[in-house]
Structures are given as structure tokens and as C-alpha cells.
Amino acid sequence: MPTRTSPRSLAAAFDPRRNALNAIRLVLASAVILAHAWPMGGWSGEPSAGGLSIGDWAVGAFFAISGFLITRSRMRTALTDFVLRRFLRIYPAYITVTLVIAFGFAPVAVLAFGEASWSVWASVSFVLRNLFLKIMQDDIPGTIEDVPLPGVWNGSFWTLGYEFACYLVIGVLVAVLRRRSLLIGGVLLGMALSGGAALALAADVISVPTALGVAFRPTAFFFGGAFVFLVADRLPARAWFAGAMALVLVAGAGTGFTVLVAPVPLAVLCVLAGAWLRGDRLTARHDVSYGVYLYGWPVGQMIAHVLVRPTAEPWVIAGVTILGSIPFAIASWLLVERPAMRLAAPLRRRSDVAPAGLPASSSTRDCQRFDARPLPSQRETEQLRETEQPRRAELLRGTDRPRGARHRRPDAPAGPAASGGPGAPGTHTMSGKRGAGDAARPSRPAGPPSGTRD
């Protein structure tokens, strides 16, 4: 049987339709821009804590929030639909910003700042080599060569490929590990292995290719967010618990084992903040954080032609970059991201019966319950949908049972008064006149019996 969710749990406190996670991610994207302001402006000594820079913490929080939300999405969606929806969320905006850099920012930089040169074929090569989420080329020859960080147009895009890989991993884990305990164990194992590998790599205990090594830390944070979702019905949404998680986070950062200790408390704090702050209608419906993250780097490189050390502090560079990125982010959301998400809307309706054994209700309390039994197959899911839809239609029409049959005594006569026919108290006759007893019991509109929920 599904487990009960405590009304004071994190699962009950978090409303998927009304939370401040979009606003929190916007703050995190701004923090990433702030971290990049040091190298872009020619400054050194980016602030850090617990062995991680501002940018590292922001990216870790991004992945932790993604782990929570993406696992929730996977539990409610069939694997193929889940992968397509994730692709539509991340790729259209990515390829669009790549095209804008190649054929917008690059030629404008040459015209506005007297860069060496720009060619169409160089931009075509830039797009083709970065066509997929793995960054193979970061420069367009002849452009942005006179800035403190020359020749890099897409320095922040490296996380996108690893994030999509995390989507695929959690998608497969949910399909393979068909019980709650196994899934939690798999997620914890992934977090431990990723965090341990990141620490071993930092201590030069192991040696792996750079492309693999940089994936360890964000992956650990992603698994931390996934774990928080899986146990959200057992975590208290209380101030004392948030304080305890903050203490664990600080203690972990002080011991040097940040990557092992931080993922779970950081995810808990982010989700609790999103649940408690709620957010307004604007930030709940519009998410420009992804666009700010994508356009922050190319906008920053353009600004680096003007605002550099020693004339501008990193805080000034970051502030101007954020303001310059917001118009591009809004355009990305309205013209690219939101239309792409609407393409995925039919997939959400097709998967209204959760393939992972969770109710398909929009209620957070429902969607975060688990069944201890094996998860149903896709065929079983389709059969359940086919049997439930006619029943729901009957309930909506109020034809599932005769009116008044629910409370009729077994020995009651089947006359007009007992069956709700003409002359029965509180009913209408065919002529429009009401029967006796109207004053004692007014009529109710036709519909399902009281207590029935659709």
C-alpha cells in the first residue's frame, strides 16, 4: 500500500505549481555570472568556501535542484516520453544561443570593437562542432582576441552535456530498480561514488580524462537532489531541520569533504527555501534562469571589451552582465523555451498514469508516495488508463448509480418516494412542480453522491 505522507513533511510542504525554485535558480545563474566576472575582467582570487568557488557552489545547487525536479518528472512519465521532454527543455535553447553567438555576437564584436576578422565558415564550423551538448570548440577564430579571457565564447556550456547525462541515468535507474528501497540505494551509491571520485581526483589519488573528471562533482549534487525527492515524505519541513542541515553543510565544508557531505543538505535547503518562499505568479510561470545562464557568458565577453581591471571591480562587471543578459533570457524563454515545452505538453497528458507506480495527481502529497510492490509495466499502465477513463466519465455525468440508492435501506419499498420519483421529498416532477416535503429538504443538483471524488 502507498505510504502516508506527513502533513509536516517536505513532500507536503512543496507545491510543484507554487514555489520559488525558478527565482532561486535565477539567483544561482547570477552567482555563476559573478564567479565568471573575475577571469573575464582580468582579476584573480575568486572567493571560495570549503574548497569550492562561488561558481562551483552555484552549479552544485543547480544540479541538486535538477536532481529533485527531474526525479519527480521521471516518476510520473514513461521513459521515452521523459527523454523527449528533457531534450525539448534543454536542447532548443542551447542550439539557439550557439547560433546567436556564431552569427550575432561574433560579427558584432568585430564591427564594434575592431576585432581581427570574422568569417561565415568559421561560425559554421563553430556551430557544427558544438551541434550536440558536448563542447568541441570554444572559439571563433579572429574574434574576442583582445579581452582578458580570449577566444572563449561558450565557457559556461560545459555543464549541459553532463546534466543531460544525469537525466538519462535517473531515467534508466527508475526503469531498472523497481522498488523504492532499491532506487534509494542506487541513488546513494551513485552519490557516494561520484563524490568519492571527485575527492580522489582532487587529491591526485586517481587520474582520469578531464572530460570525465569534471563530471564527478556536479553528478554527486544531482544524486543528492534525487535522494531528497525519494525520501521527501519522511523529511520534516521545519525550521529546526533546516538549521540542522545548514550546520551539516558548514561542518562538511570545514572538514574538506564537501563533495561527499554537501549534496543532500544543500538540496534540502534549496527545496525548503522554494517551498517556504512560494514565489509570485510571474516567477512561477516564467523561468528565465536558463537563459541568463546561457547568455551570461557571451554578454560578459562583449562587456569585457569595456569593463576590465583595474577600471571596474568584478561586482560591477557582474551586475552589468546580468542586466545585459536578461533581455536575451526573456526572448529565449518566450520565443524558444516555452514553445518547445508546449510541444511536450501532449506527452504529459499521455503519461497521466504514473509509470513508476505513483499517482498521477498534481498534488505533491500524492505524487511523492511510493508503492512497496513492483512498479507496473508500460502495458499495465495503458490497461489501467483504459479502465479508469470510462469510470471517471461516469462519475462526471453522475450516472454511476441511481440517485438516493446509496442511503436506501435494504427493506425500503421501491416506490416513487424511495426511488426519487414524482412526489418524493426534495425532487422535481416532470411538470416542474415539486413534491411534498420541499420545505423540509431542498433539492440538490444532479451529480455523484456526496463524498465521491473524481
Grid coordinates standing for 28? 544561482
Grid coordinates standing for 195? 563524490
Cβ proximity of 264 and 226 under 8 Å: no
How would you write the pLDDT of the chain (454 residues) with one tens digit per residue? 344 555 589 999 999 888 999 999 999 999 999 999 999 998 888 888 888 999 999 999 999 999 999 999 999 889 999 999 999 999 999 999 999 999 999 999 999 887 778 899 999 999 999 999 999 999 999 898 889 999 899 999 999 999 999 999 999 999 999 899 999 999 999 999 999 999 999 888 988 888 889 999 999 999 999 999 999 999 999 999 999 999 999 998 888 889 999 999 999 999 999 999 876 666 668 899 999 999 999 999 999 988 877 778 999 999 999 999 999 999 999 999 999 999 877 765 444 334 344 433 333 333 333 333 344 455 555 666 666 666 655 655 554 444 444 444 445 454 444 444 444 444 443 344 444 444 444 443 333 333 333 3
- What kind and span of H or E run contains 49? strand 48-49
Prediction pTM value = 0.77
| Dihedral over Cα of 434, 435, 441, 443: its sign | negative
By C-alpha distance, which of 15, 13, 3, 46 is closest to 361? 15
**Amino acid in position 172:** V
User: Would you give the distance in Å from CA 86 to the centre of its chain?
Assistant: 10
